């Protein structure tokens, strides 16, 4: 028959990955996983005759082909409206019993309302309500007579943001199913859209008035962009809410709508409240509601289908542009922070090479100047302090140092405990200025240390010992995880020896550094004399005391 789709004609397309197994194998697998899940409905996305459809599995052991069933199928095939999901067909071959309907890729109205990235202005909200009632008006005037299970999850949205009603009809096909639901909370939630008369009498047949009550709850969801009875849920559990709705009280228990939720439109608020009137006969019809909705919008949505569609697409495009702009801005901000962090770990020129995916080859430099310093008495100071106090001390001190060295053409190589290592002349060569930059920086740091105070030992005077040496060295990036820009060569060792053989609050410089500084004829340099250095023998060294005005 025209409405019957053989199971083998369908090819399931699960989200995230394709499954090439036959549906019969899939069905057997599902059944073997949990036999207790019989008599529940499952929905899958499938491809049928070149278009996407939704296959709603109906777990029944057998379906008898009767006159009533055939009549129901033919009636469902005749249902066709812009705001109603199209019924494609059904499969009644046991055990693969299912209904096949049109696929709407934007998900349910509930998904749209919960998507905070999607901006819904007032026009968009009224448009969604209008779609609901246009679909409901068609169903009420059709042979189906009623929907029967209206909720925001049964309102789906297609690719053009047209809302369509689904999960209606098929009473004969679904008849005899046991609505087993292991999740009591989910089962109770589904009843929030039920009219009070249906809550009191569960066996009462679905009615048009019951549908209107459900749409009133949907309207509350749209205007507040929240869950049904959203305000009440903050104080009550769902079973308690249902009990209050069932109870005959005056005034009847209904959802609260904030004063500004209806955009100061008293007519719309009144319309929603009329939809969930206690007496079913006091509820307006779908056509009356549509007429009143047009009054609420003052003709803003009175155009044809094409006009409304263009309006929605424009709104959708604006939402996308806003979202793209927001995400792009966030991406650029994150990229900027990442680059700043990278530039603090590696020299800018080296970092730029790594960002481009280029290898950073080791490089030799004919002459650079290296600075080493440490804190005199740091071991004893640490022994008399708590670990967190030591961390705070070093953080305060080196934060002060980092702010100071930014004023000079230098690169901070690393800190190890209380040791602080800085170099000038690499990776960007600066002629002979490397010795001058390090010397000026060292003098500035001595002044900073003189005024530095330790938080937990305010009376303790911080004593910094500094050593400087100039000479050739090699440099390169070492390691893959947490790569570091490292210096190699005898110049590094000599600079370290200059520091360890120095004195507190004095700048100890080597002869090679002194010769470069002499070319500026402005630095006050004092001869210290011969110093015995480990592995170097006797070396002539100097004290750098001050600097005059550089020309």
Checking if the pLDDT of 11 tops 60, the result is: no
**Helix (H, G, I), strand (E, B), or coil: what is residue 471?**
strand
Predicted confidence band at 161 (pLDDT cuts at 50, 70, 90)? confident
- What is the C-alpha separation between 452 and 462, in angstroms, rounded? 7
Q: What is the pLDDT of residues 522-532, one digit of tens each?
A: 888 889 888 88
Q: What is the dihedral of CA 333, 335, 340, 341, to 10 degrees?
A: 120
* Cβ atoms of 551 and 522 closer than 8 Å: yes
pLDDT at 371: 93
Task: Give the pLDDT mean for 392-399.
Answer: 87
- What is the C-alpha separation between 98 and 90, in angstroms, rounded? 6
* Cβ atoms of 475 and 486 closer than 8 Å: yes
Checking if the pLDDT of 20 tops 60, the result is: no
- Using a pLDDT cut of 70, give the percent of the chain over it: 84
Q: What is the dihedral of CA 431, 434, 436, 439, to 10 degrees?
A: -170
* Cβ atoms of 296 and 267 closer than 8 Å: yes
pLDDT at 176: 60
pLDDT at 399: 87
Do the bridges between strand 507-510 and strand 363-375 make them parallel or antiparallel, or are there none, so unpaired?
unpaired
pLDDT at 293: 84
Q: Which of 5-19, 166-180, 499-513 has the highest mean pLDDT?
A: 499-513
Checking if the pLDDT of 480 tops 70, the result is: no
Task: Give the pLDDT mean for 319-329.
Answer: 81
pLDDT at 40: 37
The token duo for 117 is: 């990235």
When mean pLDDT is compared across 114-118, 119-123, 180-184, 313-317, the lowest value belongs to 180-184
**Helix (H, G, I), strand (E, B), or coil: what is residue 240?**
helix
The token duo for 63 is: 């379906």
**Helix (H, G, I), strand (E, B), or coil: what is residue 38?**
coil
Task: Give the pLDDT mean for 103-125.
Answer: 84
pLDDT at 344: 67
When mean pLDDT is compared across 332-336, 355-359, 501-505, the lowest value belongs to 355-359
Question: In 3D, which of 52, 34, 35 has the Cα closest to residue 43?
Answer: 52
pLDDT at 65: 82
Do the bridges between strand 419-424 and strand 411-416 make them parallel or antiparallel, or are there none, so unpaired?
antiparallel
Predicted confidence band at 467 (pLDDT cuts at 50, 70, 90)? very high
Predicted confidence band at 457 (pLDDT cuts at 50, 70, 90)? confident
Spell out the SS3 assignment of 346-392. CCHHHHHHHHCCCCCCCEEEEEEEEEEEEECCHHHHHHCCCHHHHHH
pLDDT at 430: 87
The dihedral through the CA atoms of 496, 500, 502, 503 has a sign that is positive
Task: Report the predicted TM-score, pTM, of the whole model to 2 decimal places.
Answer: 0.52
End-to-end CA distance of the chain: 100
Q: What is the pLDDT of residues 219-260, one digit of tens each?
A: 999 999 889 998 899 888 999 999 999 998 888 999 988 888
Task: Give the pLDDT mean for 391-408.
Answer: 87
Checking if the pLDDT of 299 tops 70, the result is: no
Q: What is the pLDDT of residues 178-229, one digit of tens each?
A: 554 456 777 888 899 999 999 999 889 999 999 999 999 999 999 998 899 9
User: 317: how many CB neighbours lie within 10 A of its CB?
Assistant: 10
pLDDT at 308: 60
pLDDT at 35: 37
- What is the C-alpha separation between 117 and 59, in angstroms, rounded? 37
Mean pLDDT of the chain, nearest integer: 80
* Cβ atoms of 222 and 173 closer than 8 Å: no
Alpha-helical segments (H) within 451-527: 490-500, 511-518
Predicted confidence band at 95 (pLDDT cuts at 50, 70, 90)? confident
Which DSSP string do the residues of 422-465 spell out, in sequence order?
A: EEES-SS--TTHHHHHHHHHHHHHHHHHHT-B-SS-TTPBP-EE
Checking if the pLDDT of 411 tops 90, the result is: no
pLDDT at 332: 82
């Amino acid at each position: 028959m025209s409405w019957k789709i053989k199971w083998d004609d369908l090819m399931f397309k699960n989200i995230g990955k394709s499954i090439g197994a036959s549906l019969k194998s899939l069905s057997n697998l599902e059944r073997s996983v949990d036999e207790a899940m019989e008599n529940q409905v499952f929905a899958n996305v499938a491809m049928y005759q070149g278009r996407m459809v939704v296959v709603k599995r109906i777990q029944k052991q057998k379906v008898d082909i009767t006159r009533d069933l055939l009549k129901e199928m033919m009636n469902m095939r005749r249902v066709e409206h812009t705001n109603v999901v199209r019924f494609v067909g059904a499969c009644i071959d046991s055990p693969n019993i299912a209904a096949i309907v049109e696929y709407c890729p934007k998900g349910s109205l509930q998904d749209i309302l919960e998507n905070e990235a999607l901006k819904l202005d007032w026009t968009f909200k009224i448009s969604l309500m209008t779609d609901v009632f246009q679909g409901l008006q068609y169903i009420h005037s059709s042979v189906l007579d009623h929907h029967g299970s209206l909720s925001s999850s049964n309102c789906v949205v297609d690719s053009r943001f047209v809302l369509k009603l689904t999960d209606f009809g098929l009473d004969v096909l679904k008849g005899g199913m046991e609505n087993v639901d292991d999740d009591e909370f989910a089962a109770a939630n589904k009843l929030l859209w039920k009219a009070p008369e249906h809550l009191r009498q569960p066996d009462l047949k679905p009615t048009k008035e019951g549908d209107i009550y459900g749409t009133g709850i949907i309207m509350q969801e749209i205007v507040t962009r929240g869950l049904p009875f959203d305000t009440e849920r903050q104080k009550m559990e769902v079973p308690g809410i249902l009990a209050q709705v069932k109870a005959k009280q005056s005034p009847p228990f209904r959802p609260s709508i904030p004063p500004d939720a209806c955009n100061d439109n008293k007519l719309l608020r009144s319309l929603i409240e009329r939809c969930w009137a206690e007496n079913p006969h006091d509820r307006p019809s779908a056509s009356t509601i549509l007429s009143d909705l047009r009054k609420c919008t003052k003709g803003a949505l009175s155009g044809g289908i094409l006009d409304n569609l263009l309006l929605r697409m424009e709104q959708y495009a604006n939402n996308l542009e806003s979202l793209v702009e927001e995400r792009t801005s966030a991406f650029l901000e994150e990229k900027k922070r990442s680059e700043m962090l990278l530039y603090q770990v590696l020299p800018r020129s080296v970092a730029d090479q790594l960002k481009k995916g280029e290898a950073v080859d080791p490089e030799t430099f004919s002459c650079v100047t290296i600075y080493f310093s440490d804190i005199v008495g740091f071991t004893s100071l640490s022994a008399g302090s708590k670990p967190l106090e030591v961390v705070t001390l070093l953080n305060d001190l080196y934060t002060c140092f980092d702010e100071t060295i930014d004023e000079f053409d230098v690169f901070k190589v690393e800190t190890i405990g209380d040791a602080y290592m800085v170099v000038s002349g690499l990776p960007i060569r600066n002629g002979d200025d490397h010795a001058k930059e390090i010397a000026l920086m060292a003098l500035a740091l001595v002044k900073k240390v003189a005024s530095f105070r330790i938080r937990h030992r305010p009376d303790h005077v911080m004593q910094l010992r500094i050593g400087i040496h100039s000479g050739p060295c090699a440099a390169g990036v070492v390691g893959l995880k947490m790569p570091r820009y490292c210096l190699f060569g005898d110049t590094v060792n000599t600079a370290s020896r200059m520091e360890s053989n120095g004195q507190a609050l004095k700048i100890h410089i080597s002869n090679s550094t002194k010769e470069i500084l002499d070319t500026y004829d402005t630095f006050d340099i004092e001869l210290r004399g011969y110093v015995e250095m480990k592995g170097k023998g006797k070396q002539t060294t100097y004290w750098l005391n001050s600097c005059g005005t550089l020309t």
